[in-house]
Every structure is written in C-alpha cells, then in structure tokens.
Amino acid sequence: MPAQSDVSVSCVKENVWVFGYGSLIWKPNFKYEKVLPGHIEGVSRKFWQGSRDHRGTSEKPGRVATLVEDPQGTVCGLGFELSPEEADATFTYLDDRETGYKLKEVVFCPSDPSQSIQKVLVYTATESNPDFLGPSASRSWQNVLQPVWDNPVQTRSTCSTWPI
C-alpha cells in the first residue's frame, strides 16, 4: 500500500520541502537542492510503525520510526528542499519507500535563525494503518528493533535519543 496524502504533490511548480526524522536523515536516496537541520512541533518520534519489507519479515515486522500527535512534542530532523524538476520522481520514490505512511503538511523551524520557517511535507503512520504497532511492552532494544541494525552500538545510540 503506497503512502496516502492529504496534500497534492503532482504537478509541482515551485520548490517543495520534505522533513526527514528517521532513516531519511542518513539515507535520503533522492536529489535535493538544499538541506537544513531543524525541528517540527506538536509530535513525538516513536518506533511504533511495523515494517515487513525494510526492517522485518511478514511473520515478524521490524519497528521503524513514525510520528504521533503530542502537543508538547518536538522532533528534530532535516528539511530537504526539492526542485520542481525532481519533485515527482522523489515523491514516487518516497511513496513506495514510506509504504503505509500518510503525507501531511507541517511547519518546519530551521535551527539557523537566519533561515526562514518553511512548510514541509512529512510522512507519518497513523493508528488506521494496518502495520501500526503502537507502544511495545518490551524495553529490550534487541527484541524491539532487530533487525533494524546489525550494529548494536548504533542501535543503542539511536534508541537512547529516540524513545519508543
């Protein structure tokens, strides 16, 4: 099931921004004009989305990051500026990569105050998604996140920053 959208990204005529808060931070795999560190508000990052293809199997989905509504929450990440020429190909790629996620528009606040605040598009899973797992009863990173990373140091480091 490709990503769903509350916003239209077809026929983009000007630059558009995408917010990355999980694997897009270190593995975007698309062309972009500019990248800025910053944050979005009103959400928290959680490993509550199941993945049967990128991070798990049909029998045992792996956990991947998503965003959940949280009025007190702030999530740091990267804003990627896309050119109109690259937008269609990028969203086709991301819709497939972010299977089961929903695309929505939010406000992005760059870390550098000299940069202007932008509206960005962000992929997030909701409880209506059949692969939405919600919180885990397990606090063991190995049980919760494997096979996310083969490197346990990277797993512990990431998890200490991004609470489940």
pLDDT of residue 142: 47
Alpha-carbon distance of 144 to 105, in angstroms, equals 29
- Do 3 and 102 touch, CB atoms closer than 8 A? yes
Q: Which of 101, 115, 119, 116 is nearest to 40 (CA)?
A: 119
Q: What are the pLDDT digits (tens) for 15-55?
A: 999 999 988 888 899 999 999 999 999 999 988 888 887 77
Alpha-carbon distance of 108 to 151, in angstroms, equals 31
Instruction: Note the pTM of the prediction, 2 decimals.
Output: 0.78
Catalytic residues: 98
Pull the structure tokens for residue 98.
Answer: 């972010």
pLDDT of residue 135: 87
pLDDT of residue 140: 53
Q: What are the pLDDT digits (tens) for 85-103?
A: 999 999 999 988 887 788 8
Q: What are the pLDDT digits (tens) for 45-91?
A: 988 888 887 777 888 888 888 898 899 999 999 999 999 999 999 99
Residue 127 dihedral angles phi and psi, to the nearest 5° = -60, -20
